[in-house]
Structure 1
Amino acid sequence: MSLAVLLAAASIPSLALPPPSPLNGLAGCWRVTGTVEGKPTTAIARGSRRLGGHYLLFELHGLNPKDPYDAAIIMAEAGPGQLTAWWMDSFGGPGSAAGKGGVVGAGFLISYDYGSAVFINRFTPQGQGWRWQIDARPTGKPATAFARYTLSPGRCGPGFSVF
């Protein structure tokens, strides 16, 4: 190859694709173990891309029949390194909140403002799964641990959205 061809090729702008979203890492089925407000909990979860791949729907289904809990979290890329989300859960309207955040290293962080407190959700890759930490920061007070989860590859089972 001649020097002229190499120099011409070097001057062509790169068409590199943006880095893949860390949200893609939540796609699939998960076994969830951990604590909420210090109490042990187990759940199953499923992440799936929706609406042409623009959104990730993350569904959490608690496995304790004495303390039932379900959540659906819709997350999306909102620009380079930025994320937006909506949290819905079995508490109904009062348990719903908009979230904003961004990519942090190989993971991401999304905060949900409920007025009296902000809930900070941090997802960090861990082996073949994820570590999911939720801290509650009441207005005017320091943040405290609210929930600590480990997500390991698992089976989805029944109870998830079919749309």
Structure 2
Amino acid sequence: MQGKDSPSIARGEWHLGRRYFTLHLRATGSDPYEAAITYGAGEKPQAIGSVFSDTFGGLYEPSLGLGGLEQGGFVQRYRFSDATYVNRFSRSGTGWRWTITEEAKDKPPSVFADYRLRPASYRGMKFEY
């Protein structure tokens, strides 16, 4: 999260014959945080939509992301009344880099979060979903 080091673990799972993908994220540090984001194909070719549910809230309009494929990854935009949060996933080695940029009105864009997702064993770790 913005201005903090927040060690986390992530797990991804395909559903419904690989039509939808759910990403689970859980912070392992002292600040509790969990998220579940489900991604699926949009109406148009190359489009992707998502629903972002986390510790701070569930299904409300800003939790609906829209975006699409781009070279080497994909992007999702979550529009709140005061800012848009641009979630960009790009290939990085054997994993992914997930960068969230906050685009607030009348302010320059700023990095809100930056995750490095890489294959790892999560045996013994529990997700509360």
User: Counterparts of 1:138 and 1:150 in 2: how far apart (Å)?
Assistant: 24
Alignment of 1:118-157 (within 5 A): 118-156=84-122, 157=125
Unaligned 5+ segments in structure 2 are none
Aligned residues with identical type, % of pairs: 35
Given residue 90 of structure 2, which amino acid in structure 1 is its aligned partner? T
Q: Which has the larger radius of gyration?
A: 1
What is the distance in 2 between the residues matched to 1:154 and 1:84?
Answer: 27
- 1:83 maps to 48
Find 1:50's aligned residue among 2, 10, 15: 15
Alpha-carbon distance in structure 2 between the residues aligned to 1:94 and 1:158:
23
CA distance in 2, matches of 1:84, 1:124: 17
Give the structure-2-normalised TM-score.
0.88
Any stretches of 5+ residues in structure 1 without a counterpart? Answer: 1-35
Shift of 1:38: 2.1
Evaluate the alpha carbon distance shift between residue 90 and residue 107 of structure 1 in structure 2; reply closer, same or farther with a 3 A threshold.
same
| Misfit runs of 4+, over 3 Å | 93-96
CA RMSD of the aligned region, Å?
A: 1.8
TM-fit CA distance, 1:94: 8.2
Where 2:5 maps in the other structure, the secondary structure is strand
Distance 2:82 2:16 in 1: 33
Residue of structure 2 in register with 1:74 after alignment: 38
Larger RCO, structures 1/2 (Cα 8 Å, 6+ apart)? 1
